[in-house]
Structure 1
Amino acid sequence: MKKRTNYYKDLSADYSKPGLVSEELKTKLISDAETFILLKEATLPQIGDNYTTAQIELENKEWWPTHCEALRQGRGDLLTGEYRDDLVYLCQDGPFHGLVEQKEREQHWWALIAQPGVTMCWPIVQFWSEFVHFEWKCVDDETNETLAKGMVCWVRRGHRGGCYFKSEQLTFYRDVFAAPELLTLITT
């Protein structure tokens, strides 16, 4: 039988389930997210001798926990900052192009998955070159009910490039649009 994989064994934090990340590390990860966004270049960098796929994969592994923490904290400003201006986003409500088309819809998604009393988890994350594949679920802390789940593929050219393509399948079980009071909790 094939041995199961711990997808977080070489990463700075484990977001596979609730309660595994210290408050101190959460603060550091948010600071790192802000730094990584500032490294994004205006033009998508070319892959080559000066910016290899191995380097991009390492940067994506470094970035991943910052993304998870930004989502758990409802930091829409950081989540949007991870995208390139010319983002292509394919999902059941899309396709979306750029940063404006999906903004209204995505704000509702973020509000639902980051609401108080709910914890988002990413049990599976895999990296290859500039590709980041992950599965996620949101669990109600009180009832253990699954509110939503999904499977995503990001194409992220490391810190210098950011995310320029995202493909996502989302399933929401309890609510599709966030209540107005939840929307106010998302940082824009």
Structure 2
Amino acid sequence: MTKRTKYYSELMADYSKPELIANELAVELLRDAEIYISQRHDVLPEITSEYSLEQVEQENKHWWPTHCEALRQGRGDISAGEYANSIVYLCADGYFYGRIAATNKQVNWWAILAQPSVTIAWPIVMFNGEVVYCEWNCFDDETNQVIAKGNETLLRRGHRGACYLKCEQLSFYRDVYTSDQLLYWLRR
């Protein structure tokens, strides 16, 4: 039998199940997310001996819980700030280039995933240098129904490079389009 993997054993918080983390930790993670965004360069930094793949992978591991908490909290400002200016975003709807296009494409999805009474979880997350792969699902807190699920592969060059390529597959089972009220809440 293959050894089972606990994907969150080295990370600051565990988002593998639809359980909320302590409020103090959530606040700390959101504060860290803002710091990481402030370190983003306009030009993708090169991988060098001074900025190695090992450092990039470690920064991605520090970033991951902040990404999860920002989505759970409906912080579209943080989610958009995680993208490089020149992000390439590939999904079933097509090819989107640049932070504005990617953000405009995802705003409805973020609102659905972060709506009240829904909790998103990422049971699988793996890191390899600048590659981050995850599988996620959203649960209705009252019925325990899965309302959406998917997976994504991100190329993220640490805090300096941010996410510059995102490939995503997602399936919505309910709430395919969000209400204006949820969009307002997300853009606040």
* TM-score class normalised by the smaller sequence: over 0.9
SS at match of 2:123: strand
SS at match of 1:13: coil
Give the conservation status (yes or no) of the 8 Å contact 1:87–1:164.
Answer: yes
Q: Which amino acid aligns with 1:102?
A: A
Partner of 1:128: 128
Partner of 2:47: 47
TM-score where L is the length of structure 2: 0.97
Greater shift, 85-94 or 11-20, is seen at 11-20
Greater fraction of residues in helix: 2
For 1:14-25, what aligned pairs fall within 5 Å after superposition?
Answer: 14-19=14-19, 21-25=21-25
Partner of 1:147: 147
Corresponding pairs, count: 188
Give the conservation status (yes or no) of the 8 Å contact 1:14–1:20.
Answer: no
SS at match of 1:184: helix
Offset of residue 181 of structure 1: 1.1
Unmatched 5+ residue regions in structure 2?
none
Could you say if the C-alpha distance between residues 20 and 75 of structure 1 is closer, same or farther in structure 2, counting changes exceeding 3 Å?
closer
Partner of 1:34: 34
Matched, 1:98 2:107: no
Deviating beyond 6 angstroms after TM superposition, the runs of 4 or more aligned structure 1 residues are: none
Offset of residue 20 of structure 1: 5.0
Work out the CA distance in 1 between the residues paired with 2:180 and 2:108: 9
Partner of 2:86: 86
Partner of 1:12: 12
Unmatched 5+ residue regions in structure 1?
none
Matched, 1:61 2:61: yes
Q: What percent identity do the matched residue pairs reach? A: 54
Could you say if the C-alpha distance between residues 20 and 116 of structure 1 is closer, same or farther in structure 2, counting changes exceeding 3 Å?
closer
Aligned-pair RMSD on alpha carbons?
1.0
Give the conservation status (yes or no) of the 8 Å contact 2:18–2:139.
Answer: no
Work out the CA distance in 2 between the residues paired with 1:60 and 1:31: 16
